[in-house]
Amino acid sequence: MILNDKQQKFVDTAIEKFGTNTITAAQIKEVQAMGFPKPSWLIYGTDDNGAWKYRVGRGLYQLPVGEQETATTAVKAEVIGEVPNQAEAAYIPAPKASLTVDHNGFTENLIPAIDPLFVPFGNFQSIKKIVSSKMFYPIYVTGLSGNGKTFGIEQACAQAKREVIRINFTVETDEDDLIGGFRLIEGDTKFFKGPIINAMEKGAVALLDELDLANPAKVMCLQSILEGKGYFIKKTGEFVKPKAGFTIVATANTKGKGSDDGRFIGTNVMNEAFLERFPITVEQEYPSVSIEKKILGKVFDDLKINDINFSNKLVDWADIIRKTFYDGGVDEIISTRRLVHIAKAFSIFNDKMTAIDMCINRFDEDTKLSFKDLYTKIDSEVSTDSETVDSEEIPY
């Protein structure tokens, strides 16, 4: 292709600015901002066969260098005994893009923000010490739902200034989701590295959330990684060695032995050899009454609810229900997360029993009525006959 004056000036400006004749789509926009029109000839240019002329990869373009292109073609023709015609002299095919892309989808800062509402309790300090040490030391954190397992781990990493890559597991999670796989990108097949490989290369904390929901056979690809060793990517032939600081923290509602009472349907019995690769298991309990009052007090302050009495009554109510649950008296429990739900509902509807009623509707009718009745015995200011919000007043 013979460049006109404007095209040649674009090429010269880009090479002068970036010092290379291979530029990215973002760099093209930078040159455009200097007063040039969009170089469609560069971005969309194709040869007679429909192949890209200047695009050599995703978002990567090789600038034509004018006379240098012609000279290179002529030399090539001389070597093989051919005389180039004008069309051949004007174009050298761009090299074909590689099938493998060293892709890192996590270029931003992955250190969690410190949450001012967080109150440390339980094994928080131990987890923080482990992630702060930057030692490879996998942790398995187990406990009932809504007691702050994942939140606590994220806040430990926030305080330790450690990057976290969180992976939420389902029964369908497999090697392709974790390690990576081939993707069809603009007609080319490219290998994209998965979150585990990204965490290894960044030296980040890999947070395996709800690990016991995974199909045990589909996550056995993590075996060597849980030993602190590198991983050989069979599809590309690349061996990835973990960077210093990489470690794994898993959360689960069970200890990997399934859920006998059916409360956590979908959890699986994990492979014993897989579980054995976690050096320690941390049992996360609900916070004590005093700690939970601090947590809910902060939530109330954040929501601008000036009713510390209601906050404390909710915690006492939840504590009695949990003790009854552990003794086998009820089949349901009020989690710390549900207390936060009630606080938010109260900030919206400004009625205690409406907030409680709406947030415990998920339970069966008998359980719901017994929970409401218990609260009226704790808080003499309310009764089960308190006015509730009519369904027609609640916007969808």
The confidence score (pLDDT) of residue 132 equals 97
pLDDT of 331 reads: 92
Query: How far apart (Å, rounded) are the C-alpha atoms in residues 258 and 277?
Result: 18
Res 83: pLDDT: 41
Confidence of residue 337 (pLDDT cuts 50, 70, 90): very high
More confident residue, 37 or 386: 37
Q: Locate the domains of the chain by residue range.
A: 5-89, 124-284, 289-393
What is the pLDDT, as a whole number, of residue 70? Answer: 36
- Greater confidence (363 vs 59) lies with 363
1 band by pLDDT with thresholds 50, 70 and 90: low
Name the pLDDT band for 54 (thresholds 50, 70, 90): confident
CA distances from 90 to 23, 52, 53, 64, 73 (A): 21, 14, 11, 10, 8
Confidence band of 30 (pLDDT split at 50, 70, 90): confident
* The two structure tokens encoding residue 243: 């960077």
Comparing 239-243, 308-312, 358-362, 378-382, the range with the smallest average pLDDT is: 378-382
Residue 385's pLDDT is 59
Provide the edge-to-edge strand list for the sheet that holds 55-57. 22-24, 60-62, 55-57
The yes-or-no verdict on residue 69 having pLDDT over 80 is no
| Least-confidence region, from 79-88, 193-202, 290-299 | 79-88
pLDDT of amino acid 45: 81
CA distance 138 to 389: 48
Q: Which two tokens stand for residue 142?
A: 């187990």
For residue 144, pLDDT over 70 is answered with yes
Q: How confident is the model at residue 72 (pLDDT cuts 50, 70, 90)?
A: very low
- What ranges in the chain are assigned the alpha helix state H? 5-18, 25-32, 40-43, 67-79, 86-89, 124-133, 149-160, 175-178, 195-202, 223-226, 272-275, 289-302, 308-326, 336-349, 352-359, 365-378
pTM here is 0.70
pLDDT at 86 over 70: no
Arithmetic mean of pLDDT, 98-108: 48
For the four alpha carbons of 236, 239, 244 and 250, in that order, the dihedral sign comes to positive
Q: Are 55 and 69 in contact (CB under 8 A)?
A: no
Burial of 273 (0-12, 13-18, 19+ CB in 10 A): exposed
pLDDT of the residue at 68: 39
Mean model confidence pLDDT for the chain: 85
Neighbours of 18 (CB within 10 A): 15
| Residues written for the chain | 396
Contact (Cβ atoms closer than 8 angstroms) between residue 226 and residue 132 = no
Cα separation of 176 and 170, whole Å? 13
Q: What angle do CA 173, 163, 122 make, to 5 degrees?
A: 85
Residues 6+ apart with CB under 8 A from 285: 122, 143, 147
pLDDT, mean of residues 1-24: 83
CATH no. of 124-284: 3.40.50.300
Alpha carbons 378 and 119: distance in angstroms, whole number: 25
Which pair of tokens denotes residue 288? 């004590």
